Structure 1
Amino acid sequence: MWVSLALLLLGALTSLTAPRLLARAHWAEREPVVALWVWQCVVAAVLVSFALSMTFSAAAAWAAVRGQVFAPAPRAVVDAYQLTTSGPWSAVLAVVLAAAGLWSGAMLGREIGLARARRRQRRSELLARSPLLPGEEPAGGRLVILEGERPDAWLLPGAAPRLVVTTAALRRLEGHRLDAVLAHEQGHARARHDWLLHCSGALAAGFPGIPVFAAFREEMHRLVELAADDVASRRFGRLTVALALVELNEERGVFAAPPGGRPVAGLPQRVDRLLAATPRLPAVHRLRLTAAAALVPVVPVLVAFFPGLVALG
């Protein structure tokens, strides 16, 4: 059955070519939110292609599945898909793709479970370092200040996200720089970037040989930071955010290149981007990119419905 094979080939080609094409997209750093959307649409298109290929393969292999999938369809539509002419490969392909789908769900559940365990551990450590005062509610505040000699600030995600700031960061960050750091972390919380990181991590861990999933995880980690930087810079200015990043991280050695290497953590690139103050893309351009990305997952759906639409037409 050519539809199932076409969908499988479409998903494979998308997973191979999309990372290379998106790596050449220099607008991603100017519009990280749009880039996040584009990446999600591309990954969704790959998953939809494989899911539809599994469905049509199962329908070709087993009459019971075929009866459920094509129950309301006219006879001409069923004949257009040539479901009864496929060989034994249909059952094998359906089983393999179904197993891949179950494995993806298992990896996502594992990723969420590990994240919750880490979050519980960090909350326990936070409670040990900052015990509740008499009469204080366990979730009474969203900002926690810790005694510490190392300047640091981070977000503890969850149903009630909490911002944690050390006293060293309070002493070092002056003026609106502390507000910029807090706005950066609040940007992560409002956009629920932790879920993007969970999903990308689950796909990359479950299918390490598929380029699009590995690139998806790497780009999510990079783009969510750029998006949060933009949230803070719109309120307090790019220079303020850049100075806050430098003051918060300069003692960690992230701005010094190791022997024969480049600086780690991507912070120098983030600071350079903020200081460069490259203007955003025009609104029309952003709208076109958003609309074009939204159409990418529609392509496998059109491929799947093409024979039926031709038969009805």
Structure 2
Amino acid sequence: MTVCLLLLSLLALTAAVPAPRALTRAAWPEREPVVALWVWQCLVATVLLCCLTALTLSAAAVFQTVRAHVFAPAPAEVTAAYDLTAAPPWATALTVLLAFGAAWTTAMLARELVEARRRRGLARAQLRERAPDLPAGLPASRGPLLVLEDEYPDAWWMPGSPPQLVVTTGALHRLTDHQLDAVLTHERGHARAHHDWLLHLSTALATGFPRVPLFAHFCDQTRRLVELAADDTASRRCGHLTAALALIELNQHRGVLSCASSDRLLRERVDRLLQPPPRLDRGRRALTTTVAALVPLLPLLITFAPGLTALN
């Protein structure tokens, strides 16, 4: 069991510190933001699984009740292979630390979901106040697209039940039909990929564990990559130039495209649309996706290895 805990700790540290820093410095995520998002999720899943399996093993070694429940269906030779009775002296401290981490993670996720629901409720209430009245005889449902009377050009997707795509009349006046199609396709790309859930997860982990490099980088990169991924969705349907011009038209009045602006992401998105980087070849995309999917299996392999060896 001690060897398993040490291997799980080493794997978690590797996935939490050097791996995210290397991935942040890499150039290929800009070319394949969807694959990069998958890699980030697999890294986070690896660390969480390491902590969960280590908590299970250490708690089984420290507490007889946990051991009886975890190893109840296992043969005697499997239980003996883990040598739970010879727990290291630091097993109790590790169990308490991991249990606190699990409780804190759950609390942060719950808090983020509650706050997101509250923000959506306030936003929907404001939309109901600003939305124009429908003519008599029309159904009360406004459908997935809502047009607001506002000179400020903007468009956004509001998740929830039902989801709502909102665009202002300022955007309708400023954008051509093709540019408007690109903007709406961008927002629908966020909705189809459920980027809101990914943003909630990354925000909760970064808020709860701000000193963990993996979670901090995960939050920053998720906010960046979801926009690049939605830009790719829009550019594949409407063209790179049309998507870039739509992005410029919606944001040039804010001054964010000037050299003095601090909004680096927006300038990066425009430059990327005007000069799209070449995509990775299909084989490399498949290899990266497969390897990333296999990494979260390592904590399970380490955990079950003694028991499987005993059975053989």
Q: Shorter chain as normaliser: what TM range?
A: over 0.9
Q: Distance in 1 between matches of 2:137 and 2:13?
A: 58
Partner residue, 2:67? 66
| 2:132–2:148 CA contact under 8 A, matched in 1 | no
TM-score, structure 2 as length reference: 0.95
Q: CA deviation at 1:57?
A: 0.2
Partner residue, 1:30? 31
Matching of residues 39-78 of structure 1 within 5 Å: 39-78=40-79
Q: Classify the secondary structure of the residue corresponding to 1:176.
A: helix
Q: CA deviation at 1:138?
A: 4.6
Partner residue, 1:151? 153
AA at the equivalent of 1:286: R
Q: CA deviation at 1:312?
A: 2.5
Partner residue, 2:281? 282
Q: Distance in 1 between matches of 2:259 and 2:202?
A: 28
Q: CA deviation at 1:74?
A: 2.2
Partner residue, 1:294? 293
Q: Classify the secondary structure of the residue corresponding to 1:180.
A: helix
| 1:241–1:274 CA contact under 8 A, matched in 2 | yes
Q: CA deviation at 1:224?
A: 0.5
Q: Classify the secondary structure of the residue corresponding to 2:157.
A: strand
AA at the equivalent of 1:144: L
Q: CA deviation at 1:84?
A: 0.7
Q: CA deviation at 1:137?
A: 4.3
Q: Distance in 1 between matches of 2:150 and 2:133?
A: 18
TM-score, structure 1 as length reference: 0.95
Q: Classify the secondary structure of the residue corresponding to 1:266.
A: helix
Q: 1:174 aligns with which of 176, 187, 191?
A: 176
Partner residue, 2:306? 307
Render the CA deviation track for 1:253-272: whole Å, top value 9, x for unaligned.
111233xxx63151110011
Partner residue, 2:116? 115
Instruction: Report the more deviating stretch, 140-149 or 180-189.
Output: 140-149
Q: Distance in 1 between matches of 2:88 and 2:304?
A: 21
Q: Classify the secondary structure of the residue corresponding to 1:145.
A: strand
Which sections of structure 2, spanning at least 5 residues, go unmatched? none
Partner residue, 2:162? 160
Q: Distance in 1 between matches of 2:212 and 2:182?
A: 37
AA at the equivalent of 1:158: G
Q: CA deviation at 1:135?
A: 4.4
Matching of residues 245-264 of structure 1 within 5 Å: 245-258=247-260, 263-264=262-263
Q: CA deviation at 1:186?
A: 0.5
Render the CA deviation track for 1:158-183: whole Å, top value 9, x for unaligned.
12211111111111101300000000
Q: Distance in 2 between matches of 1:205 and 1:272?
A: 31
Q: Distance in 2 between matches of 1:246 and 1:19?
A: 31
Partner residue, 1:204? 206
Q: Classify the secondary structure of the residue corresponding to 1:165.
A: strand
Percent of matched pairs sharing the same residue: 55
AA at the equivalent of 2:158: L
Q: Distance in 1 between matches of 2:138 and 2:114?
A: 29
Q: Distance in 1 between matches of 2:88 and 2:29?
A: 44
Aligned CA-pair RMSD: 1.5
| 1:81–1:307 CA contact under 8 A, matched in 2 | yes
Matching of residues 223-234 of structure 1 within 5 Å: 223-234=225-236
Q: Does 1:96 align with 2:122?
A: no
Q: Distance in 2 between matches of 1:114 and 1:136?
A: 34
Q: Classify the secondary structure of the residue corresponding to 2:166.
A: strand
Q: Does 1:236 align with 2:235?
A: no
Matching of residues 183-222 of structure 1 within 5 Å: 183-222=185-224
